[in-house]
Structure 1
Amino acid sequence: MPQPTVKSQGSARRCLIALGILGMVIEESIGGPVSVRTTLLAILTIGPAYGFQLHGELESRTAGRRAVNVGQIYGTLERLVKQGAVESGGATADGLPLYRITTSGRAEALDWLISVESPRGEEWNDLVDRVLLASSLPHVDSLALIGRYREHWLASAEPSGNQASPIGQELLEAGARTALASAAVAWLDSVGESLLDPRAATFQRGLSAVRPRRGRRPVPVA
């Protein structure tokens, strides 16, 4: 089988980046769960990784909830490099460029991993995605995160003493908020029990050494 030429590799790379930009535009326009940016930075706190590796890690560590296209992964990585959150980390033995988190990128990732704040309307998705990802990282105290989230959800369900009793749609929304808070606390309690189980060590893991079936070799990071 003929090997791809430099020109064809460049074309493939441009296609990946174009898909990545389109994915980021769509995500910014319609909202969605945790951003690809923060999840990639969180995964890179484990160590340097290449694009397709990060693609697989993101999907597996969020149980398929964050299955994004590879072009979006590379597009986000390029943007992170330009912003100084990620830098070149060398290359694998067969030439795949590695990406390494910088000091500022690590600080951003660790701040996100201990936060319980979310954009309005994305509280549930953020909760699940953040806990799933945090529980997979060896250096993150997942139980502490669960404790903070539990307090956060309990507080959010309490009515404000300075407001009149809700009526109409506000009454219905308050009921929905209370129901969601109850579901969140119940799920967090279940997660806490699972993480205290003797088999919980299987949750936390380093980067997978399994190579992707297909991949591209983008131009090395500058």
Structure 2
Amino acid sequence: MKKLLVTGASGFLGYNLCQYAQENWQVYGSYYNHKLDSKNINFVKVDVTNIDELQTIFKQIKPDAVIHLAAASKPNYCQNNPEDSYKINVTASGNIAKLCADVNIPCVFTSTDLVFDGLNLPYKESDPVSPISYYGEQKVKAEQEMLIIYPKTVICRMPLMFGIPSPYAASFIDFFLKTFREGKKLSLFTDEYRTPVSGFNRS
């Protein structure tokens, strides 16, 4: 069975993807802070911002394909912690692209629909990017660097996702439900149109 390395395996999409992929792949999921337990998924701790650690993992696992999901995905965190989030969102992505290029294996990267400002709907993948948040800017930079380093990289710009939460990462729907259960007021944006999709379907 071929080997698949999924970075960010304890995140919302990573968790769903690992559950789905184990049917056809020998799955290795990377984590940094939150290890999950699974009989069929091999979890490995690695700092994806450290290329030496990543290189060691690549040599040990010898993956046949990589799906890079590890990210600092909360826009407010990125805005307040620009240096730390840059390392995770941009530096790590470049590291992954280089190591995949070295062995010429498929590399998939999840970006975001926030690379666009939302003013010129609907968008095509060839449309010019226009991020308005630091998170969006970082994802644009990551896309550009990965394609320069490894032009075979496949980029998927993800919208909001919902579905079964991982033990450490919930979808936005879970936050809504928690707020309602607590009888609190829910504050949302009023100037955006979003198209949520199932995390399992995206997997």
TM-score for the superposition, normalised by structure 2: 0.29
| Greater percentage in strand | 2
| Greater percentage in helix | 1
Q: Which has the higher contact order (CA 8 A, sep 6+)?
A: 1
